[in-house]
Structure 1
Amino acid sequence: MLSKEKIARINELANKSKKEGLSKEEQKEQQELREAYLKNVRKSFKNHMKGMTVVDPNGNDVTPEKLKKLKQKK
């Protein structure tokens, strides 16, 4: 999980970008922070998906094969 300080910095840079613009160094920092944030979100989503099972109305497991393979990689 991204620290509260990093998330606050992302928001600070976004607000500054809207109001007055960013320097080259700030733009680079913003891009790096965004990439770290997205990496974290993707990892979290993938872990969430690993815990899912799809069941049809009859109670049969119809989890897609791709998801079953992903679960086996744990």
Structure 2
Amino acid sequence: MKGKIPQELINRINELSKKKKSVGLTKAELVEQKSLREDYLAAFRSTFRSNVEMLQVFNKEGKEVTPEKVKEIQRKKGLRDD
């Protein structure tokens, strides 16, 4: 799963969480909950990584101090022309 986290996914995770606290979950629901959480984390990590890779860091003097590793990723994605 890539990109934005679908609201339906979040809603279902929350539903299962509330049910687990109130009456408990069936084995199938526990499996579903685990799978949904894995999907959520994969989407979160992908989005977070993309955001970090888009960053440019500047010091107080206005000089760019973006780590070289990030600059290389940006160059490979065509986001930098230096």
The TM tier, using the shorter chain, reads 0.7 to 0.9
Residue 15 of structure 1 deviates from its aligned partner by: 0.3
Q: Structure 1 vs Structure 2: percent identity of aligned residues? A: 43
What TM-score results when the alignment is normalised by the length of structure 1?
0.86
Amino acid at match of 1:50: E
| 1:67 Cα deviation from its structure 2 partner | 1.6
Structure 1 stretches of 4+ with a deviation exceeding 3 A read none
Give unmatched runs, 5+ long, in structure 2: 78-82
> Which position in structure 1 is the counterpart of 2:29?
26
- RMSD over aligned Cα atoms: 1.4
One of 16, 37, 44 as aligned partner of 2:47: 44
CA distance in 1, matches of 2:5, 2:52: 20
Alignment-derived partner of residue 73 in structure 1: 76
**TM-score if structure 2 supplies the norm length?**
0.79
User: How many angstroms apart in 1 are the aligned matches of 2:76 and 2:23?
Assistant: 47
Distance in 2 (alpha carbons) for counterparts of 1:66 and 1:60 = 17
**Greater share of helix residues, 1 or 2?**
1
Q: Aligned residues, how many?
A: 74
Supply the distance in 2 between the matched residues of 1:5 and 1:56 (Cα, whole angstroms): 40
Unmatched segments (≥5 aa) in structure 1: none
Could you say which residue in structure 1 is the equivalent of 2:80? Answer: none
